[in-house]
């Protein structure tokens, strides 16, 4: 075939693909699917926005989960990203804030309802799901992955729950999973938004496996062709690709400050935590001293009301089952959308790209924790998440 004819054929095919994409619903464009034998995969495909979750994406993911869970032709589900920079950097809270401020409050709340329902569905899925993480895995991206029984990180994976910096609180089931991390690690991560990278996720209990990125294609091929929904078999297949540290040294970035984390974050008031950190600045160990100074600076940048709300949320979440935590978070989300700080934090950090948010109240002393508790924590809330499976456990089953 002549070169000009080949070019014409290629252009024609490209035009066809572009026409197809132009008429494809947004959710399906941003959540691609693939299948191989009895394996199914969803591929997050919104790279310019670091795969931040929109309502159509949430609906598309949930639709696929329902279809595949009910299909005898599907044994295993993979969730991954097509972006080297991000698995998913969070939910599209900028759009949620705009919806709320424009008067479409039910529309804003619908996003959280659908998202939390999806998170709970992942946690209670009857078939094995493997989240293959790379790059930024934050906020809503954590909710997409942390509830799955298998969570694979690589050297590029970056975890964070930075919600207190936008005047919100760690949601997507953080009330359940953060308090169940080792010691006070989850409270530390939830209040400060501290990032963890690579093997850190494995050592902290956020990832179940560590696989170098160059092995990801082989891992995916192995899983998609596995042909079983046996959880032990899936685990064994992933274990074939894991990488151990080159020496016996555990390169966990929090290792040297783990005791200090437990000491400082054991308290039930933010003021007591701050006081403990101020005392820890005087520690003989320079690494611990530097950590305490950095942590104090981190906390000083966060919304004071978000900090107090988050601490109470996590303490309560430790005693709740997974359904109760999502119900609580949906109620907290509605109340937080009524606050000044959430919209101010989103506007400052995500729209203006600055760290100049003007919090109200501006200091911890101005936040009355008893009044905050009475306002936010109710026995019943107006909005209910709704659950695909009526399953409520207090510890992850896998």
Residues classed as catalytic: 91, 140, 163, 171
Tell me if the bond preceding 255 is cis, omega within 30° of 0.
Answer: no
Element (H, E) at 121: helix 105-123
Element (H, E) at 294: helix 286-301
Element (H, E) at 32: strand 31-36
Percent helix / strand / coil, the chain, rounded to 5: 55, 10, 35
Q: Are strands 86-88 and 196-197 parallel, antiparallel or unpaired?
A: unpaired
d(CA 148, CA 175): 16
Q: Are 97 and 342 in contact (CB under 8 A)?
A: yes
* CA within 13 Å, CB half, 265: 30
Q: What are phi and psi of 144, to 5 degrees?
A: -70, -25
d(CA 342, CA 353): 15
178 CB neighbour count, 10 Å cutoff:
26
d(CA 303, CA 261): 21
230 CB neighbour count, 10 Å cutoff:
14
d(CA 396, CA 193): 23
d(CA 214, CA 74): 26
Q: Are 193 and 161 in contact (CB under 8 A)?
A: yes
| Exposed / middle / buried, residue 236 (Cβ in 10 Å: 0-12, 13-18, 19+) | exposed
Q: What are phi and psi of 323, to 5 degrees?
A: -65, -45
Element (H, E) at 196: strand 196-197
CA 35 to chain centre: 25
């Amino acid at each position: 075939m002549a070169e000009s004819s080949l070019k014409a054929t290629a252009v024609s095919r490209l035009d066809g693909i572009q026409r197809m994409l132009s008429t494809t619903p947004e959710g399906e464009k941003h959540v691609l699917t693939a299948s191989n034998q009895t394996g199914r995969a969803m591929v997050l495909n919104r790279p310019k926005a670091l795969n931040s979750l929109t309502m159509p994406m949430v609906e598309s993911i949930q639709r696929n989960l329902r279809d595949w869970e009910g299909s005898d032709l599907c044994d295993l589900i993979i969730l991954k990203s097509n972006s080297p920079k991000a698995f998913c950097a969070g939910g599209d809270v900028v759009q949620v804030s705009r919806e709320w401020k424009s008067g479409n409050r039910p529309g804003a709340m619908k996003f959280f309802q659908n998202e939390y329902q999806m998170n709970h569905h992942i946690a209670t899925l009857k078939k094995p799901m493997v989240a293959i993480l790379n790059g930024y895995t934050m906020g809503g991206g954590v909710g997409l992955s942390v509830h799955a029984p298998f969570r694979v990180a690589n050297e590029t994976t970056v975890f964070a729950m930075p919600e207190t910096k936008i005047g919100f609180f760690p949601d997507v089931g953080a009330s359940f999973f953060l308090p169940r991390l080792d010691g006070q690690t989850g409270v530390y991560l939830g209040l400060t938004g501290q990032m963890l990278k690579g093997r850190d996720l494995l050592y902290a209990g956020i990832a179940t496996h560590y696989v170098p990125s160059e092995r990801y294609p082989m891992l995916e091929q192995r899983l998609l062709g596995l042909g079983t929904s046996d959880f032990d078999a899936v685990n064994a297949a992933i274990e074939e690709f894991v990488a151990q540290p080159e020496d016996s040294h555990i390169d966990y970035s929090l290792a040297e400050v783990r005791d200090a984390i437990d000491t400082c974050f054991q308290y039930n008031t933010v003021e007591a935590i701050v006081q403990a950190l101020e005392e820890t600045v005087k520690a003989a160990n320079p690494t611990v001293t530097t950590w305490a100074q950095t942590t104090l600076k981190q906390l000083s940048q966060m919304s004071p009301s978000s900090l107090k709300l988050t601490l109470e949320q996590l303490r309560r979440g430790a005693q709740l089952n997974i359904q109760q935590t999502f119900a609580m978070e949906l109620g907290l989300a509605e109340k937080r959308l009524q606050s000044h700080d959430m919209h101010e934090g989103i506007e400052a950090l995500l729209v203006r790209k600055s760290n100049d948010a003007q919090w109200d109240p501006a200091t911890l002393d101005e936040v009355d924790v008893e009044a905050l508790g009475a306002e936010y924590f109710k026995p019943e809330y107006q909005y209910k998440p709704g659950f695909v499976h009526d399953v409520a456990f207090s510890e992850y089953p896998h």
